[in-house]
């Protein structure tokens, strides 16, 4: 009995040993298939490389599952070619039996598959230097010297600092052609540290360390090119050529440097901030005209930009729009009320006061240059026609003219605070109470400061333009009252959680202000300083999100800080009959701007129309009705439902809703009984849609503007009641501080 037990135990141990060896073998085999090899290609890699074609991943999963193999074999390849109907077109000499397909054999087959099936040449071969591999959802990201590439291949297929020839589509790596022996460069990296046998450098947002062998004597802090081969650093080239000056403009191909002119760049310029801890920045962090920076150059182009010290915000650059609202003008004539200096490239000349200067003519010889007119201290420049007739108010600072797109752009470069002196009276009448003007000055300064940091119009050499797209500038010249308001709040901005905010403001409320919910923003926490504020004298705060509550409130007309303004309440007769084509045009235009705010539905259900086009929307038929789908607690329409014969559309954001409803307005009547028939946009989204028996609608609402931040007319009412500008601002904005601009 014991002998039988011992025999059974031995057999059990033997079986366990065999099972263990089998597991080890299988694990080893799987591990091998997940590593790069010249002698085999994993099925996973082949499936990835075939993803460009007509078959889905599920089709290939099913196809390869039948073979129970981790690596491609010759019989699998033969069946694969048959599935792709390419057997008669691809010849693979020497491939018979069931042997494992080598990488060279697969590359030969795959190149022919691509020639025959990849008609749009989606798959490209790219030779890249691998810097790192990062895990990502469903795969990993290859960090290379030429960008990031997502892949589903295992990280064990790759080794850092090696060069690889890869099969890629856009920003995706499908597979590996092979390991590259050629020298590959990390260009315009910033060397931050050199220690014995090792360097640390910044490149494309990350820091790397690498052994340098005997090249330590060549290395020093600064911009350099690093050359690798076979996993080793083989060359290090420091870049020494430097240009200094303020950045004036930039686009996709060139940048403009003050007192130097334009110079080309390769498309992506690394920017390094070198004061304090060395960090990588972006080109948008270089503040136009307010930051002295260094430009590392080579081969007649900018290779990198170095920020050596923080910006000193002194000036702002304003694009002056043409009469038609466009960015360019056919011709530009200037004159100055004092003597002035003209400059265009290396050419300079003084000109007497009052002389008409055809600025555009100086650019005809070399359109890449910039014409600059600078008056003597205290002088002002005006735009005029060819005969000298003045067509603008006077501008302080200098005027720059650039040739662009068959016309000319005009930019006014002037001191930041001087700019505000001509914004305040253009946005708020100078007759308003001094404390209201001060509140306006702080809001205007805060808003302009944020735009100055962004420089949306850098390609034109400007931070902002002079229209309502940003802030109205110099449509009314500076007054004593506006200068006083700016001077008495000098440098003051609104901050929230330690950062300056975009201090939005608007003309007139309907008794309440709203939050960023009306813009359908992704994260309202970024706009935490915008709050619902009751501007009623009673201080009453009512939830107006329900139709009945809103209609009752809008008809009541309670007294508020701006209830004496005609826009406080208004009525409009409107009709969407015969407006389908026009409204569809508006919807398609707004869809192109922000697709999440215009959603089309097919039929009577919730089936969203995929990739809506003008033709698809036309198939919905004519518009049959409109109704409010959702309101904010302040009463603004958050979503408007438009009904069609065969579907519907949901319109979001206050701007889009005002645009759609405004197109239907026939006549607008304001609180003071004045009327308007030339309405293209509803004054606000605070309105009720009341159906009439004849099929038309009445729009009953109040307020003028987006309704966020400070109501300018309410601010004036508050100032008249005795509130100072700090109290006014803290009434409108949530948890803000009034700080001095850095």
Q: What is the pLDDT of residues 331-342, one digit of tens each?
A: 999 999 999 999
Whole-angstrom Cα distance, residue 308 to residue 222?
12
For residue 209, give both structure tokens: 């360390």
On whether the CB atoms of residues 194 and 219 are closer than 8 A, the answer is yes
Beta-carbon neighbour count of residue 453 at 10 Å?
Answer: 16
Q: Is the pLDDT of residue 7 over 70?
A: no
Task: Report in angstroms the alpha-carbon separations of 630 from 192, 530, 651.
Answer: 55, 20, 10
Instruction: State the average pLDDT over residues 375-383.
Output: 96
- Residue length, the chain? 742
Whole-angstrom Cα distance, residue 439 to residue 427?
12
Residue 33: its pLDDT value, please?
A: 54
Q: pLDDT by residue (tens digit) across 184-237? A: 999 999 999 988 888 999 999 999 999 987 666 677 899 999 999 999 999 999
Whole-angstrom Cα distance, residue 256 to residue 305?
13
For residue 44, give both structure tokens: 């996973």
Q: Is the pLDDT of residue 21 over 90?
A: no
Whole-angstrom Cα distance, residue 586 to residue 554?
28
Residue 695: its pLDDT value, please?
A: 87
On whether the CB atoms of residues 92 and 77 are closer than 8 A, the answer is yes
What does the mean pLDDT of the chain come to? 92
CA quadruple 432, 436, 441, 447: dihedral sign: negative
Q: Is the pLDDT of residue 94 over 90?
A: no
Residue 91: its pLDDT value, please?
A: 80
Q: For a pLDDT cut of 90, what percent of the chain falls above it?
A: 84
For residue 153, give both structure tokens: 């291949």
Residue 700: its pLDDT value, please?
A: 97
Residue 216: its pLDDT value, please?
A: 63
Instruction: State the average pLDDT over residues 309-323.
Output: 95
- If DSSP codes are grouped into helix, strand and coil, which group holds residue 576? coil
Task: Report in angstroms the alpha-carbon separations of 392 from 303, 322, 325, 334, 382.
Answer: 41, 11, 14, 10, 6
For residue 197, give both structure tokens: 């046998």
Instruction: State the average pLDDT over residues 655-675.
Output: 96
Q: Is the pLDDT of residue 20 over 50?
A: no
Instruction: State the average pLDDT over residues 602-611.
Output: 87
Instruction: State the average pLDDT over residues 313-333.
Output: 95
Q: Is the pLDDT of residue 22 over 60?
A: no
Beta-carbon neighbour count of residue 574 at 10 Å?
Answer: 24
What is the reported pTM? 0.85
Q: Is the pLDDT of residue 98 over 80?
A: no
- Between 79-93, 155-169, 463-477, the lowest mean confidence (pLDDT) is in 79-93
- Between 1-5, 374-378, 626-630, the lowest mean confidence (pLDDT) is in 1-5
Residue 25: its pLDDT value, please?
A: 37
Beta-carbon neighbour count of residue 527 at 10 Å?
Answer: 20
Question: Residue 64, CB half-sphere, CA atoms under 13 Å: how many?
Answer: 21
Q: Which residue is associated with the tokens 């209830």?
A: 563
CA quadruple 707, 711, 717, 721: dihedral sign: positive
Residue 116: its pLDDT value, please?
A: 94
Q: Is the pLDDT of residue 11 over 60?
A: no
Residue 16: its pLDDT value, please?
A: 45
> Rg of the chain over CA atoms, in angstroms?
34
Whole-angstrom Cα distance, residue 147 to residue 126?
11
Q: Is the pLDDT of residue 630 over 60?
A: yes
Q: Is the pLDDT of residue 400 over 50?
A: yes
Nearest Cα to 395, choosing from 452, 472, 475? 475
Q: Is the pLDDT of residue 10 over 60?
A: no
Whole-angstrom Cα distance, residue 246 to residue 409?
20
Whole-angstrom Cα distance, residue 545 to residue 556?
16
Q: Where are the beta strands (DSSP E) in 379-491?
A: 381-384, 398-404, 407-415, 464-465
């Amino acid at each position: 009995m014991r002998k039988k037990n011992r025999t059974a135990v031995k057999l059990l141990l033997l079986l366990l040993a065999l099972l263990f060896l089998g597991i080890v073998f299988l694990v080893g085999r799987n591990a091998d298939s997940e590593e790069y090899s010249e002698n085999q290609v994993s099925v996973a890699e082949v499936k990835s490389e075939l993803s460009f074609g007509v078959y889905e991943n599920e089709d290939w999963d099913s196809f390869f599952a039948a073979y129970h193999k981790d690596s491609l074999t010759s019989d699998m390849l033969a069946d694969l070619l048959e599935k792709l109907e390419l057997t008669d077109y691809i010849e693979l000499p020497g491939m018979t039996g069931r042997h494992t397909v080598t990488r060279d054999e697969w590359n030969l087959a795959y190149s022919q598959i691509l020639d025959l099936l990849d008609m749009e040449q989606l798959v490209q071969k790219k030779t890249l230097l691998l810097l790192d591999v990062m895990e990502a959802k469903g795969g990993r990201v290859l960090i290379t010297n030429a960008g990031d590439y997502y892949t589903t291949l295992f990280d064990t297929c790759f080794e850092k600092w090696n060069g690889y020839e890869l099969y890629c589509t856009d920003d995706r790596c499908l597979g590996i052609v092979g390991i590259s022996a050629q020298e590959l460069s990390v260009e315009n990296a910033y060397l931050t540290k050199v220690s014995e046998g090792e360097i640390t450098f910044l490149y494309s947002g990350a820091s790397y360390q690498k052994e340098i062998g005997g090249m330590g004597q060549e290395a020093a802090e600064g911009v350099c090119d690093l050359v690798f081969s076979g996993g080793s650093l083989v060359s290090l080239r420091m870049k020494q050529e430097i240009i200094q000056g303020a950045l004036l403009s930039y686009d996709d191909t060139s940048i403009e440097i003050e007192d130097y002119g334009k110079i080309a760049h390769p498309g992506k310029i690394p920017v390094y901030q070198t004061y304090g801890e060395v960090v990588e920045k972006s080109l948008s962090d270089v503040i136009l005209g307010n930051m002295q920076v260094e430009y590392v150059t080579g081969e007649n182009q900018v290779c990198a930009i170095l920020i050596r010290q923080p910006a000193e915000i002194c000036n702002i650059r304003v694009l002056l729009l043409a009469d038609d609202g466009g960015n360019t003008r056919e011709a530009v004539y200037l004159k100055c009320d004092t003597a002035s200096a003209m400059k265009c490239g290396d050419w300079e000349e003084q000109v007497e006061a009052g002389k008409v200067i055809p600025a555009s003519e100086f650019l005809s010889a070399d359109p890449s240059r910039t014409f600059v007119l600078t008056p003597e201290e205290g002088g002002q420049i005006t735009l005029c026609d060819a005969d000298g007739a003045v067509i603008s108010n006077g501008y302080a600072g200098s005027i720059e003219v650039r040739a662009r797109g068959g016309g000319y752009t005009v930019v006014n470069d002037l001191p930041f605070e001087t700019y505000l002196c001509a914004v305040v009276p253009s946005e708020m009448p100078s007759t308003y109470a001094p404390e209201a003007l001060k509140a306006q000055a702080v809001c205007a300064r805060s808003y302009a400061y944020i735009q100055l940091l962004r420089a949306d119009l850098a390609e034109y050499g400007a931070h902002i333009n002079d229209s309502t797209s940003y802030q109205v500038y110099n449509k009314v010249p500076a007054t004593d009252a506006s200068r006083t308001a700016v001077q008495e709040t000098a440098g003051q901005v609104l901050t929230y959680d330690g950062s300056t905010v975009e201090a939005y403001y608007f003309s007139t409320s309907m008794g309440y202000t709203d939050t960023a919910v009306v813009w359908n923003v992704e994260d309202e926490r970024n706009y935490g300083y915008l709050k619902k504020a009751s501007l009623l004298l009673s201080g009453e705060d009512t939830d107006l999100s329900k139709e009945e509550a809103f209609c009752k409130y809008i008809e009541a007309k309670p007294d508020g800080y701006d209830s004496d303004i005609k826009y406080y309440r208004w009525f409009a007769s409107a009709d969407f009959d015969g407006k389908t084509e026009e409204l569809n045009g508006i919807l398609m235009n707004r869809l192109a701007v922000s697709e999440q705010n215009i959603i089309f539905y097919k039929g009577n259900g919730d089936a969203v129309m995929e990739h809506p086009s003008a033709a698809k929307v036309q198939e919905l038929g004519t518009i049959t009705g409109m109704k409010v789908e959702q309101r904010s607690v302040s009463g603004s329409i958050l979503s408007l439902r438009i009904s069609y014969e065969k579907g519907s559309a949901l319109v979001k954001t206050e701007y889009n809703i005002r645009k759609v409803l405004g197109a239907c307005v026939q006549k607008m009547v304001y609180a003071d009984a004045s009327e308007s028939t030339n309405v293209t946009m509803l004054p606000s989204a605070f309105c009720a849609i009341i159906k009439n028996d004849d099929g038309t609608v009445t729009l009953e609402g109040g307020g003028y503007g987006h309704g966020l931040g400070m109501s300018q007319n309410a601010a004036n009412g508050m100032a008249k009641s005795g509130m100072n500008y700090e109290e006014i601002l803290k009434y409108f904005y949530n948890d803000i501080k009034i700080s001095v601009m850095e």
